[in-house]
Amino acid sequence: MQRSTELFDRAKKVIPGGVNSPVRSFRSVGGSPFFTEKAEGAKLYTADGQELIDFVCTWGPAIHGHNCRPVHDAVAQALDKGTSFGTPNPYEVELAEMVCDWVPSVEMVRMVNSGTEATMSAVRLARGFTGRTKLIKFAGCYHGHVDSLLVKAGSGALTLGNPDSAGIPADLARHTIVLPYNDTQALDAAFAEHGEDLAAVIVESYPANCGLILPDEGYLPHLRALCDRYQSVLILDEVMTGFRLAKGGVQEIEGVTPDLCAMGKVIGGGLPVGAFGGKREIMEQLAPLGPVYQAGTLSGNPLAMAAGIAQLQLLAERDPYAELDQMGARLASVLRTAAEEKGIPLQVPQRGSMFSLFFAEDRVRNYEDATSSRTDYFNQVFRYALDHGVYLPPSAFETCFLCTAHTPDLIDRASDVLTAAIKAL
């Protein structure tokens, strides 16, 4: 990794930690990060000449693989017309219509530039709509680096052993109530005590920033019913799951319709895009119609909108969700079998094109279960896999992704490597 090492040394002099997002630093898995020079299909090509089968898929957006030709061509065509206008453009209208048509909860939508912007704006809107201040979130759920949401967070914050953050005033954090996920008694108690002051509950549809955690049967409907009873806004964070597990996201799969939802990743086709949407009566509280202010110079950027339209059109044409689920289930089964033969406990939660590895005896239901798993085993598997041409997320608390470019041959090759990695523990 001589070239990557040189680049990382240079980066550390001018970029904090040498990276522009903390989890990329490889601190939890050891060693230095590799640098990618190009990506194509389901593969990354590093600055050191290594070819890697990629199960990170740019942390979710690349559902059709890297440098997908229809998306590439759509961006190129849009680029010929200009990079940014600072005015409304036809692309944003088309993408907004697609989102409203596909996502059950969305009657109106506003485009932003990231998932963080989407969740931040949704929370502000919920508070403005209800006139309340308190918020419920769940330990291990990560909703971007928003001050009021970076409390007991997952993703990079958890990976670095720092689930909170310096720089967040206690007076702000006190408005956020953090509960264990999959605990209905804790939910009932929190609503009984704070229900009249609760503006919103925000939850990852399937928590996927603490590894992949799936809801107990009836948990999401119970949460929906509590929000209805206390007239609190239910915000589903579908930044990861939206358009990736189904056209309508988890809310389509589970039949639970939120009041607002946040979207990102897949919706941008690999470019910086987020969105939030929901009930018309709530969305119409946004400026310029209402008193809740939100704005963005590059929101609705024509290149990003063109990429998103092409990505969603391809999903509509291919409808790959059943095939991706079968691929994920097969890979998960191979990993479980390898661990069983080795005599090592391994949980592999999987839904559609998302899965993760927890070296734990029992099903992981919440943050505490996740952080009690054998991360040292994961780290060893990560290093072995990387050395043998397979790239997993560089953290035990992240989720793996599949894409339509993962051919059966690539899955078989990766399965052999990961099986060998588990047997080498």
User: Active-site positions?
Assistant: 142, 237, 265
CB-CB contact of 214 with 182 (8 Å): no
DSSP state letter for 215: P
CB-CB contact of 155 with 142 (8 Å): yes
d(CA 272, CA 413) in angstroms, rounded, equals: 32
* The two structure tokens encoding residue 304: 């990003």
Length of the chain: 425
d(CA 92, CA 77) in angstroms, rounded, equals: 15
| 32 C-beta neighbours (distance < 10 Å), count | 16
Across the beta sheet with 400-401, the strand order is 350-351, 354-355, 400-401
Q: 234-257 as b/e, with b when 16 or more CB fall inside 10 Å?
A: bbbbbbbbbbbbbbbbbbbbbebb
d(CA 354, CA 365) in angstroms, rounded, equals: 16
- CA-CA distances (angstroms) from residue 424 to 345, 357, 413, 419? 14, 16, 17, 9
Q: Which residue has the tokens 């950027």?
A: 301
CB-CB contact of 70 with 310 (8 Å): yes
Strands 350-351 and 36-40: unpaired
